[in-house]
């Protein structure tokens, strides 16, 4: 990728980030308020500016004009309001946005994907993803009490984003953004929104399915991050801890005013029709359609995601895995999911 130029208004924060990149990534830090000219020709540029005043925007534009060569990716790190960030990023000509809370690994992965062919995702779609990701971090997956009103706000964000951008661009934006759990919840919810449209569900049922998918993994806030982000196979004891998340999510929501269908989707999205799932080893007759639909979106979403221990699976191959799970997943619903997988292709 060449040398990475990190432009920041906080040198201590920038130095911490540069250390996190590790020795394999050559990086240079530039103080936004240092007026000394320089002749750097970086291979990639990241701006990490928390206080984007009009003076800061002018300074960023001047620096970018001096050092940014043709084809050099520029990533804009978002602090605060995502809608405002979208406008600022467009003014500056950014190729992408990413939450400032993302890890160094996620940042480098994003830059790498921005350099790949067909890398462009509309900035407006990236801003929608950033807004939704911040909502998940600050509200839905923060450990704070979750109410139906809170769930409605998050669902509206996803439904609006998928409607405006289409599933193809939205998935590409989400795959670049935030940590694994946030990414997965947004991805599964967006797949559910698209799936509900393919199924021809009425508006209320489409919203319900999307909401169930958005909530399905809330219990993961109780799973240690070293297990969630482990770059390898989980041990037997780690797997046991991971498998507590459906029941823990259910207990987070029960008694908070959610309907039984939502609670079932959270508790039972890892149940399989042959009784081999968890946590309750339910038989097929006890697994409602809403849960079956969320499970298909969940399995497919997990397959097409980049994980610490593997690359994302191509969409066509992931759909083949779904079809190969006959007897465990609802075969009729898997067939109905095919247009969603086809729309995702190339994302």
- Shared domain for 1 and 67, answered yes or no, is yes
- What 3-state class would DSSP assign to 107? helix
Q: CATH number of the domain at 38, please.
A: 3.40.50.2300
Sheet containing 27-31: which strands, arranged edge to edge? 27-31, 4-8, 44-48, 74-78, 96-99
Q: What is the arithmetic mean of pLDDT over 257-267?
A: 96
- Shared domain for 189 and 323, answered yes or no, is yes
Where is the domain boundary, 61, 96, 120?
120
Which one, of 226, 220, 155, lies nearest residue 181 by Cα?
Answer: 220
Task: Using the predicted structure, report yes or no on whether residue 96 has a pLDDT greater than 70.
Answer: yes
Question: Could you tell me the pLDDT band of residue 118, with boundaries at 50, 70 and 90?
Answer: very low
Where is the domain boundary, 120, 146, 161?
120
- Shared domain for 216 and 70, answered yes or no, is no
- What 3-state class would DSSP assign to 98? strand
CB of 332 within 8 A of CB of 284? Answer: no
Where is the domain boundary, 86, 120, 154?
120
pLDDT of residue 256: 92
- Shared domain for 303 and 323, answered yes or no, is yes
pLDDT of residue 37: 67
Domain residues for the domain of 208 are: 122-347
Q: Which two tokens stand for residue 252?
A: 């987070």
Q: CATH number of the domain at 313, please.
A: 1.10.3210.10
- Shared domain for 264 and 214, answered yes or no, is yes
Percent of the chain having pLDDT more than 90?
46
- Shared domain for 45 and 25, answered yes or no, is yes
CB of 295 within 8 A of CB of 271? Answer: yes
Q: What is the arithmetic mean of pLDDT over 1-25?
A: 87
- Shared domain for 193 and 232, answered yes or no, is yes
- Shared domain for 241 and 325, answered yes or no, is yes
d(CA 15, CA 319): 43
- Shared domain for 4 and 44, answered yes or no, is yes
- Shared domain for 195 and 331, answered yes or no, is yes
Question: Could you tell me the pLDDT band of residue 270, with boundaries at 50, 70 and 90?
Answer: very high
- Shared domain for 254 and 340, answered yes or no, is yes
Q: What is the average pLDDT score of the chain?
A: 86
Torsion of CA 165, 85, 99, 138, to 10 degrees: -90
Which one, of 129, 126, 189, lies nearest residue 159 by Cα?
Answer: 189
- Shared domain for 327 and 281, answered yes or no, is yes
CA atoms within 13 A on the CB side of 130: 27
Task: Using the predicted structure, report yes or no on whether residue 38 has a pLDDT greater than 70.
Answer: no
CB of 141 within 8 A of CB of 221? Answer: yes
Task: Using the predicted structure, report yes or no on whether residue 252 has a pLDDT greater than 70.
Answer: yes
Task: Using the predicted structure, report yes or no on whether residue 296 has a pLDDT greater than 80.
Answer: yes
d(CA 251, CA 244): 11
Q: How far is CA 3 from CA 24, 167, 206, in A?
A: 11, 34, 46
d(CA 203, CA 183): 25
Q: Across the chain, how many H-helices and E-strands are there?
A: 16, 5
Say how many domains are in the chain: 2
Count, residues in the chain: 347
Write down the residue that tokens 């046991």 correspond to: 240
d(CA 208, CA 213): 9
How do residues 161-177 score in pLDDT, each as one tens digit? 788 777 777 777 776 65
């Amino acid at each position: 990728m060449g040398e990475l130029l990190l432009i920041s208004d906080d040198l201590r924060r920038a130095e911490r980030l540069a250390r996190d990149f590790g020795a394999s990534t050559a990086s240079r830090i530039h103080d936004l308020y240092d007026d000394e000219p320089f002749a750097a020709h970086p291979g990639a540029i990241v701006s990490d500016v928390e206080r984007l005043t009009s003076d800061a925007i002018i300074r960023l534009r001047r620096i970018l004009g001096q050092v940014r060569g043709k084809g050099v990716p520029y990533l804009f790190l978002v602090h605060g309001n995502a809608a405002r960030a979208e406008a600022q990023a467009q003014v500056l000509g950014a190729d992408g946005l990413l939450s400032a809370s993302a890890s160094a690994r996620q940042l480098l992965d994003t830059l790498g994907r921005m350099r790949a062919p067909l890398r462009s995702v509309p900035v407006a779609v990236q801003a929608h993803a950033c807004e939704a990701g911040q909502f998940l971090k600050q509200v839905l997956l923060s450990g704070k009490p979750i109410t139906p009103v809170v769930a409605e706000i998050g669902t509206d964000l996803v439904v609006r984003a998928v409607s405006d951008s289409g599933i193809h661009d939205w998935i590409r934006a989400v795959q670049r953004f935030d940590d694994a759990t946030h990414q997965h919840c947004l991805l599964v919810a967006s797949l559910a929104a698209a799936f509900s449209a393919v199924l021809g569900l009425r508006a209320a049922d489409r919203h319900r399915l999307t909401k169930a998918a958005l909530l399905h993994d809330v219990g993961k806030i109780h799973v240690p991050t070293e297990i969630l982000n482990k770059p390898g196979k989980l041990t037997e004891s780690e797997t046991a801890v991971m498998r507590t998340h459906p029941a823990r999510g259910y207990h987070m929501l029960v008694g908070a005013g959610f309907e039984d269908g939502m609670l079932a989707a959270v508790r039972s999205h890892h149940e399989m029709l042959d009784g081999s799932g968890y946590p309750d080893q339910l038989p097929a007759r006890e697994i409602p359609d809403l849960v079956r639909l969320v499970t298909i979106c969940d399995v497919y979403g997990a397959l097409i995601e980049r994980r610490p221990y593997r690359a994302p699976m191509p969409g066509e191959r992931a759909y083949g895995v779904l079809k190969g799970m006959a007897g465990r997943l609802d075969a009729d619903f898997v067939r109905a999911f095919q247009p969603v997988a086809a729309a995702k292709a190339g994302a």
